Amino acid sequence: MKTFKTIMSWVLPVVIGLGLALLIRQFWFTMVRVDGTSMQPNLQNNERVVAFKTSTIKAGSVVVFDAYGLDPDQTSKSAVYVKRVIGMPGDTVKYTNSGKLMVNGKVVKQSYLQNSYQQTTGSFMANKHSKVTGWTLNSLSHDQGWSKQVTNGKVPKGYYFVMGDHRSVSNDSRYWGLVPKSHMIGVVKAWPWQARKEYINNYQP
């Protein structure tokens, strides 16, 4: 009897601790590894970030989402992508021939990027998109054959338009379409010691 009580005295706290950890992970946050260079210069390949599941998604938020079923080239059911929200539900998004990103008719100052990272031209764009200069949501959805077509130039309700910060190498909404809210996992928050945390945490374009 004494042995049983002794065992339970350390087993029970461990079980409770594991249970709480699982609950927190399930409902509050999750750890994610950045895979690739599409979020440079702000997030690096293999960098670890935390995604909070209860945070509100805003324009400029860096988000984690389930990529399986969105990217037709993605075969892993556990694949997640890290990208930045450019268009919110109801927004119009376009990229001009002169290289300006416009949301709702206004030029977006992308202070989180150097000019070289803002360019949408590059090997990935050239291979996937017949236009390497200007585009609108309408032209992208038609040209790329998005499963969710856009006809009025606006991001539909319950969807988001996302892009990687390293535009010329990022595989994102431009190619396979909009991200439904049901695929969103959480909003990324950088650690206090990360060099470019101001461009990740609560960034407003």
In the chain the first and final C-alpha atoms are separated, in Å, by 64
Q: Please give the order of strands across the beta sheet that includes 135-136.
A: 106-107, 101-103, 93-95, 135-136
Indicate if 38 belongs to the active site.
yes
CB 105 within 8 A of CB 91: no
Task: Classify each residue of 38-74 as buried b or exposed e, where b means 16 or more C-beta atoms within 10 Å of its C-beta.
Answer: bbbbbbeeebebbbebebebebbbbbbbbbeebbeeb
d(CA 186, CA 64): 5
Tokens of 68: 């399986």
Whether 83 sits among the annotated catalytic residues: the reply is yes
- Candidates 61, 83, 154, 170; catalytic one: 83
93-95 and 101-103: which strand pairing? Answer: antiparallel
The full DSSP string for 12-31 is HHHHHHHHHHHHHHHHTEEE
* 166 contacts 62 by C-beta, under 8 angstroms: no
* One-letter amino acid of 105: G
User: Six-digit token pair at 144?
Assistant: 């790329």
Q: Which of 2, 5, 9, 38 is catalytic?
A: 38
Residues annotated catalytic, as ranges: 38, 83
